Amino acid sequence: MWRKAASVGGLTLVSRLFGFVRDVMMAAVLGAGPLADAFMIAFRLPNHFRAIFAEGAFNAAFVPRYARALTQDGEGAARAFAEDVLAITIAVHLGLLALALTFTPLVVAALAPGFAADPGQLALTAGLTQITFPYLLLISVMTLIAGVLNAHDRFAAAAATPILLNLCMIAALMASGLFPTIAHALAVGVLVSGVAQLALVVADMGRAGLSLRLRLPRFTANVRNFLKGFGPAVLGSAGVQLAMFADTILASFLPTGSVSYLYYADRLYQLPLAVVGIAVGTVLLPELARRLARQDLAGARDRLNRALEGAWLMTLPFVALFVVAAEPVVAALFGRGAFDAKAVAGAAAALQAYAIGLPAIVALRCVTPAFHASGDTATPVKALAVATIANLVLKFALIGTYAHAGLAFATSVGAWVNVILLVILLRGRGGFAADRRFTLNVVALTLATAAAIAAAFAALAPAGTVKGLIPAFPDLAPATLIGAAVFAAFGAIAVPGFLLARRRRA
């Protein structure tokens, strides 16, 4: 399982590295002004819908059912099921695209009502959104094909698709002189990347000897079962996106640049989420689905323990870095050109607030597939509803005092409420039981993180607040090395527990 996750995480890391190149270029030429805010909204809109209807909800409902059909009924039945779902996906997204292109200004005004007071800003954002929105159709079909490939233990092509998004946007920035504005160049880059990503997974499907035919939609028993699971999954994904919509909506009323501060902070905390959380969740979902189809509950519980244990190990160092050294990190990566010291401080405040919820958000990527693998897409929605209420209440309570950082902190609290509820519910049904190895390692790693935070804070204290952007690397490097050394030293107490657990299993 971890070898597969490593291949996904490795390609995701390459994508994130190109993503940072892209973001550094964007920050330097766009900064955090009105043009940047307009593009961020136009970029987020199809991505919000993608997260609701494609990656999140679709994977939750489709992958376990396809894997179960493949295991129990054979490849022919699984392919017929995938073809029926493909036909429905294309039909629905064509209708959604027609509506979005027709009523783009209204959609943008609903997402960022603060822009409505500035007709020029609203018109610019709507024009950019009309370019980016067809990306949703392309990426949704790509997601379905990626789900089929994942169920056949082929993860590399789907994991590599975000690399193409970043390369296309970098190329668009380099060719921005051919477009009315840099934002228009980026919007076209997003659309072109959708075509490239779809072509990549189609090619890999051909190499695997798989194929899907286009046909008219058929509502078979398998499709109806998929739709029953898809509905609650959409609600679950919509709940997550609702919180992000709320961030965008509320940030549009804050001073100019607030939307961009949240975007750049999100890009940084998305690195461990993507490389660790999404990679593990991608591999874990079909793994658990196959084990549950064979009635191997003990094996499924063991895989979940190992997934959470590894995710904890690889996420906590990022928490330490982002909590203690958010400003030097942001300054080192983005602090140049139009991204001035004010923008660095704004993004750093949001990053610190996001970091508090990072372990919970990564853990959600491990715990939620345990429900989806058994065909239960409703229970995570119930837990998410409670978490979303807590999230939204905190957003309104904190925005007046802490501005955009308060929005990010509320997101973190909502993630902790969500994962705690899911773990309690999963334990109650026998789907999770923390074994001795898991408990020992989590305690050891938590103590190691606390020690690393203290050591890194002490190393950064003499430097004080970063003044300007040049001191970022000299301030950051020693603190990072010291924190890493302390984390490794304290974390070594987990090794005896790891070896003991292995010896007992042997």
Q: How many domains does the chain have?
A: 1
Q: In angstroms, rounded to a whole number, what is the distance separating the alpha carbons of residues 345 and 328?
A: 9
**Which amino acid would we find at residue 256?**
T
For the chain, the maximum distance between any two Cα atoms, rounded to a whole number of angstroms, is: 68
Q: Determine contact, residues 456/482, Cβ cutoff 8 Å.
A: yes
Hunting for tokens 């007071």 — which residue is that?
117
Mean pLDDT within 307-328: 84
Q: Determine contact, residues 246/112, Cβ cutoff 8 Å.
A: no
Percent of the chain with pLDDT over 90: 14
- pLDDT at position 470 over 60: no
Q: In angstroms, rounded to a whole number, what is the distance separating the alpha carbons of residues 205 and 165?
A: 20
- 85 in any annotated domain: yes
* pLDDT for the residue numbered 465: 47
Q: Which residue has the higher pLDDT, 262 or 193?
A: 193
- 164 in any annotated domain: yes
Q: Which residue has the higher pLDDT, 205 or 65?
A: 205
Which DSSP category does 494 fall into? H
Range of the domain at 204: 58-218
Q: What is the mean pLDDT of the chain?
A: 81
Q: What is the dihedral of CA 263, 268, 271, 272, to 10 degrees?
A: -120
- pLDDT at position 479 over 80: no
Q: In angstroms, rounded to a whole number, what is the distance separating the alpha carbons of residues 227 and 57?
A: 11
- pLDDT at position 143 over 70: yes
pLDDT confidence of 187, banded at 50, 70, 90?
very high
- 323 in any annotated domain: no
- 294 in any annotated domain: no
What is the CA angle 443-276-150, rounded to 5?
130
pLDDT tens-digit readout, 46-73: 876 776 665 666 777 788 888 888 877 7
Mean pLDDT within 364-372: 84
- 330 in any annotated domain: no
Q: In angstroms, rounded to a whole number, what is the distance separating the alpha carbons of residues 82 and 68?
A: 12
pLDDT confidence of 480, banded at 50, 70, 90?
confident
Q: In angstroms, rounded to a whole number, what is the distance separating the alpha carbons of residues 264 and 270?
A: 10
* pLDDT for the residue numbered 420: 93
- 188 in any annotated domain: yes
Q: Determine contact, residues 7/155, Cβ cutoff 8 Å.
A: yes
Q: In angstroms, rounded to a whole number, what is the distance separating the alpha carbons of residues 143 and 55?
A: 6
Q: In angstroms, rounded to a whole number, what is the distance separating the alpha carbons of residues 372 and 365?
A: 11
Helix (H) or strand (E) segment spanning residue 388? helix 379-428
pLDDT confidence of 236, banded at 50, 70, 90?
low
- 94 in any annotated domain: yes
| Residue 280: count of CB within 10 angstroms of its CB | 29
- 503 in any annotated domain: no
Q: Which residue has the higher pLDDT, 202 or 47?
A: 202
